[in-house]
Amino acid sequence: MDLIERYLKAVGAQLPAAGREDILAELRDLLMSRVEEREAELGRPLTEAEVEAVLREVGHPLTVAARYGAGPQHVVGPELYPWWLFGVKTALTVLVLITAVGAVARILFGEVEVGQAIGQAFAGLFSSGLTVVGLATLAGFIIERQKDKPAFLTEWRAKDLGMFEVGVFSRSWWESLHEKSGGSLDDTDRALKEATPKMSPTAGALGSATGWGIFLLWWSGLLGLGFRPEDLGGELVRGGIDYGLLFADTVVLLYWPVVVFAAAQGVFHLLRAMTGSPVRLTAFGDVVFRGASLTLLGWIWMYSPFASLLRVDSLGSLIERTETLFRTGEGAGTVLILIFVVIVVSEVSGLLMALRRLAFGK
């Protein structure tokens, strides 16, 4: 019975140490019983080929060992799979948007031809998509092997189902939008507003967490999109100033602060999604992150490679430069200052609104 012993050794190698001998003893009894039954039927000892047939009936050692193994016998089970698929679709959507923005930036500001930029974008999107799917599968594998089911699988609430509104942009949604739009821009805009539901705070939190996660992977270089953050400046040179180089130098200096900022944003928005996005928690996070953003903007204004270009002597000087920009179309530095001012005003406005929500809870 050398074949049976070899078979049992192969099964035993896949079993946990605890209970291995008992399982092998049980399996040995099963195999010997089947062999004896077959021998009784034939009235003679089984040949090696007939013993092989008995073993095949029982199953391959990997399959048999899995029957006795502890834990799930799948990577992502049927209960978790819809969540896995939803997360992958959402992440891939964000990834496509980032790739498109990067490709356009390289075409406009870099010395990259359209065909080359599109080809590199598709190649980067493919490899990055595999990374996203792999990370999602790893997360599913870990969740499946937790002792207790995650709360989002067992303790979901109907009022939080708005998070799945981010999946509204399906093929049927686009077809419905096309039918409702009459062809003019106003008709299309009206149809878009009617077809798009108002996203709940929970849905917004989940979308934000996904977006920040993809951004963090791209910023840290884990997504092979074919371009890095420092490449977005391209080789833009205006008025003897290499804006692309300044942008690349700034990205290098901000690398770790942005990594920390993006990771904190992702974790915070996941917390919001899991807790139903309470108003005061959301407001508190907004206050913290708006404050951090203003701190980074202050550094850019005072100490970054762009500092000398962003400073103006007075408000009157800024107004004069703006008038010159609109009159002549020249003044890349002025454009940069105006963009910076708009961002600062937006962050300050958001900070004040967050403070109001934190104070009054609405």
Span 24-55, pLDDT tens digits: 999 999 999 999 998 898 889 888 888 888 89
Summarize the confidence of residues 76-88 as an average pLDDT: 83
Q: What is the pLDDT of residue 218?
A: 79
Q: What is the dihedral of CA 181, 186, 190, 195, to 10 degrees?
A: 40
Q: Is the per-residue pLDDT at 165 higher than 70?
A: no
Q: What is the pLDDT of residue 256?
A: 93
| CA distances, 297 to each of 20, 208, 245, 290, 317 (Å) | 62, 21, 19, 10, 21
Token couple for 128: 């990055």
Q: What is the pLDDT of residue 353?
A: 94
Better-scored residue on pLDDT, 232 or 117: 117
Query: Can you give the pTM of this predicted structure?
Result: 0.61
* Of 256, 258, 249, nearest in space to 231 by CA: 249
Better-scored residue on pLDDT, 135 or 322: 135
The H-assigned helical ranges of 242-314 are: 243-275, 279-302, 307-310
φ/ψ (deg, to 5) at 146: -75, 145
Q: What is the pLDDT of residue 187?
A: 62
Tokens 């004040």 belong to which residue? 352
Span 170-228, pLDDT tens digits: 555 555 556 655 555 566 666 556 555 555 677 678 778 878 888 888 788 776 655 67
Span 68-79, pLDDT tens digits: 776 667 788 888
Q: What is the pLDDT of residue 343?
A: 93
Q: What is the mean pLDDT of the chain?
A: 80
Summarize the confidence of residues 324-340 as an average pLDDT: 75
Q: Is the per-residue pLDDT at 234 higher than 80?
A: no
Q: Residue 112: which pLDDT band, with cuts at 50, 70 and 90?
A: low
Q: What is the pLDDT of residue 176?
A: 59
DSSP strand pairing (237-238 vs 241-242)? antiparallel
Q: Residue 260: which pLDDT band, with cuts at 50, 70 and 90?
A: very high
- Report yes or no: 97 and 64 within 8 Å, Cβ to Cβ: no
Better-scored residue on pLDDT, 107 or 122: 122
From the centroid of its chain, how far is CA 156?
22
Q: What is the pLDDT of residue 73?
A: 72
Q: Is the per-residue pLDDT at 361 higher than 70?
A: yes
Q: Residue 84: which pLDDT band, with cuts at 50, 70 and 90?
A: confident
Count, residues in the chain: 362
Summarize the confidence of residues 92-97 as an average pLDDT: 82
Summarize the confidence of residues 224-241 as an average pLDDT: 68
Q: Percent of the chain beyond pLDDT 70?
A: 77
Q: What is the pLDDT of residue 253?
A: 92
Q: What is the pLDDT of residue 198?
A: 56
Q: Percent of the chain beyond pLDDT 90?
A: 17
